Chains A and B, each alone.
Chain A
């Protein structure tokens, strides 16, 4: 039985896994204590639950629980990591580097630092969406103090060479931050091996609740941060504010499930994604955005040429997808990520991000393939540009009249 709209927007957010909800809810209802309350069992129990969850998060990424700081989400973690480190280490230098295709949470924070007097370099990715390591090395300066590169891109799903970047940064004593919001449960993360200093996590991208995230802060070697939220001194002074026990328990459980089921789940998801890709590839003039190899199995971002973007989204209403990342869906600008790959505005507008997940079925994939075939066909029938292309006219040679 298909439920409409079919949800293929897992990169925007994921449903809370029923097992996670089941674990969370008692901490919302019966066990309501403030974990900072030292004077009674309500507080102690809440604190114990928080510490158990901290261990679960640490285990997924092979870190020490002491290195996990709770935040209200990956956006806050990114702010804390980037501003916190840049400010703390600003004596060493004020040059910071990132990729043009990062999430707004990183880019806007970088812009804020620029307004404060930091100098930022925004690297262009290669056409496949991956970082150009030579260009990266060339961009490093003696006064470079922080690099921020996301593990997995939210729009096109490509996986950056975090291990290599880490080696380069460690060698030069540069702090390396990684936004791993889209990575947990999808790729193996081993912070004992990766030379990453700071890493942001989100719960709601990994079948946990919204409103909770974490920041990994390395202890060996010790990374220091300037706190962004001051008050009661929670999280060893790094992030003050009452801890939301039920949300933390949810994140812990979500990350435990991710650790235990990731392998098998990714296999199944890869098969579904490949099925979708195969089913759509026979539509003419379609282009996959981003490298297909260095990519998480959940993501398929495709541009359908000669189809108007908005009409396309409206036409496939029975499937809930995204054109451009959720956080910037309010503005109808073409995706800056796709433009950074070299896609022209038109093509960027006509792209769809399909992101599948734990609860996606083969039936849903097949319905989607069929739907896209029908609708693209119809829309192209209506498109004068498509007509011209079919007649063999090279659109680039056409002189468009201005009205």
Chain B
């Protein structure tokens, strides 16, 4: 199979070896339903408890605060819709740069009588704390933006939210494994995690939830996860998720340094091409570089890079079919023309310095080619 160098870790990440090792038995001989009372079931139950403890430990939470879901999107839906359902309709605020799986559930609340307001981001992609309305009762701000990598000051939002008696939720799906994530220290009411962003399997995620929050389940039937999320547990994925969480935090320090060095190299070659990096003025995830080269269309560049053997992205995976410029960039005040040039490179645990060097070479070649074509077209 044609295997491009993978530089799209924010979309999904290769499975870690340790995760694969841990998962395989649960797709084989250890197949019990965790709700069964015989040994097959009990073994499955123990595995889930073990995984729950690992996830909790990785993010500074208590195991009883971890609710397993089928992924990050579901966890976001569960919190936003579930918390709102147990509250009197009021004001819900989400940042202008949220992922659709936070924005869309929040929009659904409007049909139940809630008012939705967005908190804008500044030109560097930071959500403005001042924009938090004192009347807001449900607030969601992502810990790190999936496109720009810009980090938000979640602790500050959490403090403000507590002062006004609001629940603050943060989608930490992109943050885990790249920066330290501590549920208790952040002071949030709820936090979303996803396994496949950190080298775990697709199909598992979690909502880390302060027990004071009253939540209506999204999926009913059978009462699993203390009634918060029914359905036969996907043991293999949950086990994989637990191990992935453990791995994500274990080598965090060393990995951050490596990713930072790789990103620095990428940004140098972007600068050499006259490009601009979005959100460069803000603190960002160490692995993410979201940039545009002047006069070069992002989709086209990404296509050429793919053919040159490098897998990157133009905007987020979930919206990569849509021709609209990135909402996040629009919120940052980036002009549509420049926004259409956006390309996201996100390195990961499996990326080497050689990969990045080769990418830089390819970027220069492809950019030259495209500029050459443009010049020819203009002549």
Contacts and interface: CB of A to CB of B under 8 A. Distances in A.
A28 B232 contact: no
A104 B1 CA distance: 45
Interface stretch (A189-197, A207-215, A366-374): A207-215
Contacts, number: 268
B377 interface: no
A interface, over-half SS: loop
A36 B202 CA distance: 12
B295 interface: no
Interface stretch (A106-114, A376-384, A390-398): A106-114
Contact of A231 (B4, B73, B220, B299): B73
Contacts of B23: 28
Most buried by B among A5, A40, A73, A107: A40
Nearest to B40: A320
B320 A37 contact: yes
Nearest to A112: B220
Given A13-B33, A42-B6, A105 B231 contact: yes
B70 A72 contact: yes
A313 B234 contact: no
A33 B105 CA distance: 25
Interface in A304-327: 313, 317, 320-322, 326-327
Given A105-B231, A247-B202, A72 B1 contact: no
A73 B73 CA distance: 15
A38 B11 CA distance: 11
Interface in B308-323: 311-314, 317-321
Contacts of A33: 11-12, 311
Given A14-B31, A39-B8, A242-B73, A105 B38 contact: no
Interface residues of B, number: 76
Contact of A75 (B219, B236, B311): B219
Interface string B32-66: 11011111110000000000000000000000000
Given A25-B27, A32-B14, A43 B70 contact: no
Contact of A34 (B11, B76, B100): B11
A41 B36 contact: no
A71 to B, nearest CB: 8
A225 B196 CA distance: 28
Given A241-B71, A329-B37, A246 B201 contact: yes
B256 interface: no
Contacts of A14: 31
B158 interface: no
A151 interface: no
Interface of B: 1-4, 6, 8, 11-15, 20, 23-24, 27-29, 31-33, 35-41, 70-74, 76-77, 99-102, 104-105, 107-108, 194, 196, 201-204, 218-224, 230-237, 299, 302-303, 306, 311-314, 317-321
Given A21-B28, A43-B320, 4 more contacts: A28-B23, A212-B203, A241-B71, A329-B36
